[in-house]
Amino acid sequence: MKKMLAFAAALTAAQWAFAAQPLLTPAQLHAIPASAPTLRVIDIRDPQAYAKQHIPGAVNAPYGKWRGPASNPGELPDVSKLTQLVQSLGLTPATHAVVVSSGADATDFGATARVYWTLKTLGLKELSIVNGGMKAWADAKLPQDNAAVQVAASGWQPQLDSSLIATREDIRKNLDLSNAALVDSRPDAFYQGKTRAPAAKLSGTLPGAQQLDFNQWFVPGTSTFVDTAAAKQIAAKVQRKQGEDMVAFCNTGHWAATDWFGLSEVAGLPNVKLYAGSMVDWTQQPGTPELENQPSRAESLAYDARQWWQRKFK
């Protein structure tokens, strides 16, 4: 009997270790045995919110630690910096890492998607996001505590998976060869060139880009990501030729991470990449190629003047 119980326990642990789903409901996460040796819940909220209440056993790694410099937070940090971070969280290739944030809105989900993508680029395979975040966890009345959590550091040495990453040079080649479906994840005002991110030098979008507003991935009126069937319907809006890559971009690789997650992880499309630096990176390069939906010089100067006025006198 003891052998049968031990076998069942081992089988359950193995199932959790090798069957991670990209989206977990709070109930599904809660059902994973707390003693599961490979589970690591990563809470990316700010330290103050984490300290008040968090999922028992969760470690804190605020979103800012996963982002690039102030000049362009979308840039992927140096591998050495990311290595120190994941080692401090005790992560190894065997870890089932579950990312959770506040669940406040669709933009907040982008933070979890960006961290998920970063962990996948580093080589983790077993990854999940808590659908609805801490808001959904609290609404389900599941346990929380404020206990300090310490984990043993790992010695893992990640290696970047370039198949998930699009660089500025990659985009140049894509445009020269017309061999990728470029997906602009931003809302209309950005896509149409009517506004831009503060760090971007120009308004508009990449030539030939298709718009897929990241807000489409959520059940209306909620921060709950849609199910697989709905995700496939959304993904079908993007057109690409046989064999082409698909590249999601936005302003700083935040909203685009949601498009990447929906297209790649939930809808299951192959060869989907994220341009982490996105439009801020693209427009900061010398001699930026002409953009689509780019306003005239007079319109751009008027926009800059309005922005300056608002910053100076707000």
Fold of 13-160: Oxidized Rhodanese; domain 1 (3.40.250)
pLDDT digits (tens, 9 = 90+) for 260-276: 999 999 999 999 999 99
| Residue 308: CB atoms within 10 Å | 10
**Distance from the Cα of residue 37 to its chain's centroid:** 25
Q: Which of 32-41, 131-140, 152-161, 223-232 has the lowest mean pLDDT?
A: 32-41
Structure tokens belonging to residue 266: 């939930």
Q: What is the pTM for the complete model shown? A: 0.90
CATH number given to 163-295: 3.40.250.10
Name the residue with tokens 């700083």: 252
pLDDT band at 241 (very low <50, low <70, confident <90, very high): very high
Task: Please report, for residues 30, 126, 216, the alpha-carbon distance to residue 18 in angstroms, rounded to integers and kept in the order given.
Answer: 17, 7, 30
CA distance 229 to 71: 38
- Asked if residue 55 lies in contact with residue 144, where contact means CB atoms within 8 angstroms, the answer is yes
Q: Do 13-160 and 163-295 share a fold?
A: yes
* CA dihedral for 104, 281, 216, 269, sign (positive or negative): negative
Q: Where are the domains of the chain?
A: 13-160, 163-295
